[in-house]
Structure 1
Amino acid sequence: MKVAVLGAGAIGAYVGASLHRAGAEVHLIARGAHLEAMREHGVKVRSPRGDFVATPHATDDPAEVGPVDHIFLGLKANQYAGAGPLIEPMLHEKTSLIAAQNGIPWWYFHGVEGPNAGRRIEAVDPGGSVSAVLPPERAIGCVVYAATEIEAPGTVRHLEGTRLSIGEPDGTRSARCGEFADAMVEGGLKCPVEADLRRDIWIKLMGNIAFNPISALARATMAAICRHHDTRALVVDMMKETLDVALALGVSTGVSIERRLAGAERTGEHKTSTLQDLEKGKPLELDAILTAVVEIAEFAGVPVPTLRVVNALTGLLGAGLPALPPGGTR
């Protein structure tokens, strides 16, 4: 199995190192000091489960890699539309695209039946620009529950969790999903193939849709948001509205708001990825996390007044931030 990791940042390098340890042919595509360190010393993984070093091929030129069986996307969702030149040299007829993104993916209504079949979500696929680069029929969904960070160039700190759930948009258990999942497990990760990955998407989104934008607006950690009475109440309102949208699409998460709040509190003084991006002057990855849900609510006829207000505020907040170049990583 030949795998390319496009955007080998914290999650991408961790996945790539794990797959390499399983015996897969892995190519990491990155840039800057992180790339140079991986070229010279490999990927150093520091983890409570045991440290290890993997030495997959690392490059900034996808043409060096050539066609692969799977491309694991570690890019930000707002980079997808511009990633065509990076992806094209690595495609063959059956290459799959495994997108490790937060929020609503561009393929969400691909492979479903009913009135929304094939519907395009403008917030995540503006003008069809993402589908043109990442054809939905190539997509394998991925919901990441592992937490990692780049401790130093070439060094990934694994903080917690090893599960990356994957699934076909049409809910089938395909050979390509099975192949990728088996290699992930062999490399020490959990990779269940879910028949209904959309449920996982909404479960994770319950937390992201509230904590990510609030953290950026208030410059606050997750624990601080939970401790403050009014922001805690705001989180509850946003989660309620999100669950209403999910139910309108026929998805029941089976996870209570209280349980999600308790999980957030346990993370402690953690800065969300959105707050970290804001502090670094990077664009906010909220189109898929928040704006897409407001768009879905509009055509589903679900009132989401709180989500609309927060979306307007974060839209203004992010309006002055620079665009992220195609080679950036998550």
Structure 2
Amino acid sequence: MSDTLQPVQIQRKPRPAEGSREPLSADEARRIIRAAETALLDERRMLTADELAALAYVPDASVPSLAALAHEVRLAWCGPEVEVEGILSAKTGGCPEDCHFCSQSSKFDTVVKATPFLDTDEVLTAARETAELGASEFCIVLAVRGPDERTMERLLELVPIINEETGLNVAVSAGILTPDQAKRLADGGVHRYNHNLETAKSYFPQVVTSHDWTEREETCELVRQNGMELCCGALLGMGESVDQRLELLGQLREVDPTEVPLNFLKPMVGTPFAHLPAVEPLEAIRWIAMFRIALPTVILRYAGGREFTLGDLQAMGMTSGINALIIGNYLTYLGRSPQEDLKMLDDLRMPVGLLSKVI
């Protein structure tokens, strides 16, 4: 973790993602939101792709209504509890992949430099601090294409120690897996494995060229086949269109994750995406709501970029479908204090609890 890494300072401009349709009228938006409410809350069914696409084009003035529906969907399908997670960058920087948003790539000239795997005491200290905050999940994150044998041995050593000493469920994010590695991690006690799709298959070549989208999809399938819970999320604000965000929602439905971390791009100096504009706060609320409405059963987690993107609207995000959050610091930059997040949950009367995907 680097305290010195700073995001690019961007003047916000009202530039939502481009779509293929014109925004709906206020009357059309009310009708479509009411129809979605009936489907999700009364008929208890998932929306079709066409129904979701219509919701993506409600006008800005209707976004609070869309968010209110998403909150009701979250309560009805998942309950009131919020899951809290801490993450630790146990091996930072030096990644050989060229994900254009990532300051940990060795391909780009950023202030994040390669560091070795943290020792056991350092990892345990972070896990204990996470447990003291009331979290139920602790994720070990590694900046690698995929784990080599030495990394596998370290992970399989750490996971049971953390679980036994803290009681936390242990998740891992270590890149692309082989079938044997997925089985060993599952057998070794890994509760969830994180492997984000990040963006739609059609847009992925604009984001990463050192591996393809299918490799990510295959790892997601291996995770589920071996009995681990799949954590598979998105990063919005990389230049993708509205239609590509809708495409991603369909693809997330297909890989069937337990958890979906929702990230917003925080442009970092030295990366190819340093020039991109920040996602507007209201646009972020729109897509938090869209992710909940499209994926009513999942644990939808506030993840990277929320402070930067939403600012004072973070509490509104919690009432737009979010039911989990990462507290404390992120992989390469500082988040807000855990106490602020816990106070926000207390103010919203949202109990902290252990979640699993709704079957």
Same fold (TM over 0.5): no
Give the structure with the larger helix fraction: 1
Which has the bigger relative contact order, CA under 8 A and spacing at least 6?
Answer: 2
Give the structure-2-normalised TM-score: 0.26
